[in-house]
């Protein structure tokens, strides 16, 4: 199955928190969008890997994703090494996306920036014909995405461009709240965490308002890019 957009996330909920509005926007345009979570998020303080998988699958259904997969890289201990790169190369070649969205270039959680480097490297290596990978016993065709963009996570990074997600804001919040194990619950007896405090979702909205303000809309999601964007008409800019 060929995808228009493949979203890599090192943890379940990374994609929802950072770019669910963009995902929903493109699904509404008829694009095929998939998420691949690289780990099970098994080191998360709250919940469990099993519960987070249930939440991720529910989120996928709620958004109407074309596909969602979960790999088995080690949460917290994965490396940008040959084995990890080959796992991602297989995924890229399997779905042949035109666009890949990755974790943030750097962030509060060290997994995010390290994952971004892995994801970017795999996107390049997937286009090298002398790297052999297989799917269901058949050799895969080399494939390099046309564009790789990095979503912005906890730490502020000046965006290279901002997507207007205003029409999809309420749905984005609905999708985020599917990951109930991770967020504030006054009835929970689990330990408090950075994202489980009662203001974290307010922060998510504040960031979206900030990004939206930059482009003159209510809500936005910011991205950075790996190379200059190509245009042939200055009037294409908004």
The mean pLDDT of the chain is: 97
Q: What is the pLDDT of residue 130?
A: 98
| Whether the Cβ atoms of residue 157 and residue 105 lie closer than 8 Å to each other | yes
Token pair 């998988």 in the structure block, residue: 53
Does residue 99 carry a pLDDT above 90? Answer: yes
pLDDT tens-digit profile of 17-74?
A: 999 999 999 999 999 999 999 999 999 999 999 999 999 999 999 999 999 999 999 9
Tell me: pLDDT of 220 over 90: yes
Does residue 182 register a pLDDT over 90?
A: yes
Residue 104, pLDDT score? 98
* Per-residue pLDDT band at 1 (split at 50, 70, 90): confident
| Domains parsed from the chain with CATH numbers | 5-227 (3.40.50.10320)
- d(CA 238, CA 225) in angstroms, rounded, equals 18
Position 237 scores a pLDDT of 84
129 SS3 class: coil
Contact 23, 33 (CB under 8 A): yes
Span 190-199, average pLDDT: 95
Whether pLDDT at 218 is above 90: yes
Cα 196 to chain centroid distance, Å, stands at: 20
What does the longest C-alpha to C-alpha distance in the chain come to?
Answer: 56
Query: Considering just the CA atoms, what is the radius of gyration of the chain in Å?
Result: 17
pLDDT of 236 over the 90 cut? no
């Amino acid at each position: 199955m060929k995808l228009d957009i493949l979203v890599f996330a090192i943890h379940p909920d990374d994609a929802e928190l950072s770019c669910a509005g963009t995902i929903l926007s493109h699904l509404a345009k008829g694009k095929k969008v998939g998420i691949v979570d690289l780990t099970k998020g098994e080191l998360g303080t709250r919940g469990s890997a099993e519960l987070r998988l249930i939440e991720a699958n529910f989120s996928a259904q709620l958004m109407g994703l074309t596909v969602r997969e979960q790999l088995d890289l080690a949460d917290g201990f994965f490396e940008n090494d040959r084995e990890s790169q080959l796992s991602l190369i297989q995924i890229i070649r399997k779905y042949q996306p035109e666009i890949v969205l990755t974790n943030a270039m750097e962030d509060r959680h060290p997994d995010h920036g390290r994952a971004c480097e892995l994801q970017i490297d795999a996107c390049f290596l997937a286009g090298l014909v002398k790297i052999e990978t297989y799917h269901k016993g058949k050799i895969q065709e080399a494939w390099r995405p046309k564009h790789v963009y990095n979503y912005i996570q906890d730490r502020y990074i000046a965006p290279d461009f901002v997507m207007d997600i205003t029409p999809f804001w309420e749905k984005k919040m609905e999708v985020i709240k599917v990951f109930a194990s991770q967020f504030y619950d006054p009835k929970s007896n689990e330990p408090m965490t950075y994202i489980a405090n009662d203001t974290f979702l307010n922060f998510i909205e504040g960031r979206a308002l900030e990004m939206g303000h930059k482009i003159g809309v209510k809500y936005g999601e910011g991205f950075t890019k790996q190379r200059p964007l190509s245009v042939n008409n200055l009037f294409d800019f908004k």
